[in-house]
């Protein structure tokens, strides 16, 4: 039992101070339960509270762990598991749980859970639910009996909501079902210091930056959007292409391009995390998997990086092997090495 500095410890309990978690636990004699300082349960009366150095000491004194804050578990492990379960719930639920419901299930306050979820996933619970709904809509549209059937199957409460939310697909659901019919995608090519590059953009922003022969890349673009109107417009895209070329020449300057990123919920989590890696630094695929809260998904993270179609602006070149050495790059390891060199990235070293 801790007898010294009780008032400081009690103050941490009253504030639900998360930074104090792991430094002590408090037990409530009236309930026989012990908790971590940040426990969201109703505050106990001061005269019923005793402080202990750790969970073992509290259990030896006859107290049992709280079922809300799980003070006998490692906080990091418990948080990762809570976020994983919340993601699974969001992905599979017919009626999406709200923030309060998710937070109560995880044993956190709504504000704290929102902060933890965004730190692990890179999106808020609401944003993640929207991304999952988008994926379900994309998957349902090709084979559904009608566009309306696909909309409701994806979790939209009304067909009007799906048509209003063009961000879900980058176009209306009917256009997506018809292979982006009616959407105009403009493209232009240019020479850069790393070879020819093709830039394509929708009304929302850049949807492709790829190195390679323009004729082949135009075919890739057409295959991705088979009934869209693919238009070569070198003059209209001149300013945008110039910004892309400047970004390739000086990737450390940062990217302020408008982007139209389209992928699965998992891919978008990975791509968003990539944009958070500062120029001059790298992560391994395992570290990137940990960053998005999916430490066992290293291979899936590598596949998402390989599927990126917006070179440099979504900087998948900043992901390397666990040893620190360069690994495969969609547009060639030589280009990856050149980009990292321009960013002043430190030489490869053993990361683990």
Q: Which residues carry out catalysis?
A: 35, 316
In SS3 terms, 12-66 reads as HHHHCCHHHECCEEEEECCCCEEECCCCCCCCCCHHHEEEECCHHHHHHCCCEEC
How many Å apart are CA 317 and CA 128, to the nearest integer?
Answer: 25
- Is residue 177 exposed (0-12), middle (13-18) or buried (19+ Cβ within 10 Å)? buried
Closest CA to 51 of 95, 11, 90: 11
H-helix or E-strand spanning residue 319: strand 319-320
Give the alpha-carbon dihedral of 168, 179, 136, 152, to 10 degrees: 80
């Amino acid at each position: 039992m801790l007898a010294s500095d009780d008032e400081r410890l009690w103050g941490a309990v009253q504030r639900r101070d998360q930074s104090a978690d792991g430094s002590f636990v408090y037990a409530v004699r009236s309930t026989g339960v012990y908790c971590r300082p940040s426990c969201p349960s109703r505050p106990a009366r001061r005269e019923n509270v005793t402080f202990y150095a750790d969970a073992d000491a509290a259990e030896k004194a006859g107290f049992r762990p709280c079922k809300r804050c799980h003070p006998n578990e490692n906080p990091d492990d418990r948080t990762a598991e809570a976020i994983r379960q919340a993601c699974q719930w969001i992905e599979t639920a017919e009626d999406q749980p709200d923030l309060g419901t998710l937070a109560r299930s995880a044993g956190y306050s709504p504000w704290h859970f929102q902060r933890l979820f965004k730190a692990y996933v890179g999106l808020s619970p609401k944003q993640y639910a929207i991304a999952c709904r988008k994926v379900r809509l994309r998957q349902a549209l090709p084979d559904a009996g009608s566009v309306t059937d696909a909309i409701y199957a994806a979790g939209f409460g009304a067909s009007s909501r799906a048509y209003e939310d063009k961000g879900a697909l980058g176009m209306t659901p009917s256009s997506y079902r018809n292979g982006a019919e009616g959407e105009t995608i403009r493209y232009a090519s240019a020479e850069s210091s790393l070879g020819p590059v093709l830039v394509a953009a929708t009304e929302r922003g850049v949807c492709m930056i790829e190195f390679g022969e323009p004729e082949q890349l135009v075919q890739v673009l057409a295959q991705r959007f088979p009934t869209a109107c693919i238009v070569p417009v070198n003059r209209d895209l001149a300013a945008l292409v110039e910004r892309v070329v400047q970004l390739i020449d000086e990737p450390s300057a940062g990217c302020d391009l408008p982007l139209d990123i389209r992928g699965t919920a998992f891919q978008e989590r990975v791509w968003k995390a990539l944009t958070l890696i500062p120029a001059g630094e790298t992560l391994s695929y395992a570290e990137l998997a940990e960053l998005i809260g999916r430490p066992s998904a290293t291979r899936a993270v590598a596949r998402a990086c390989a599927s990126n179609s917006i070179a440099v602006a979504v900087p998948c070149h900043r992901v390397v092997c666990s040893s620190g050495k360069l690994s495969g790059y969609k547009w060639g390891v030589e280009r990856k090495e050149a980009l990292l060199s321009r960013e002043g990235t430190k030489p490869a070293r053993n990361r683990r």
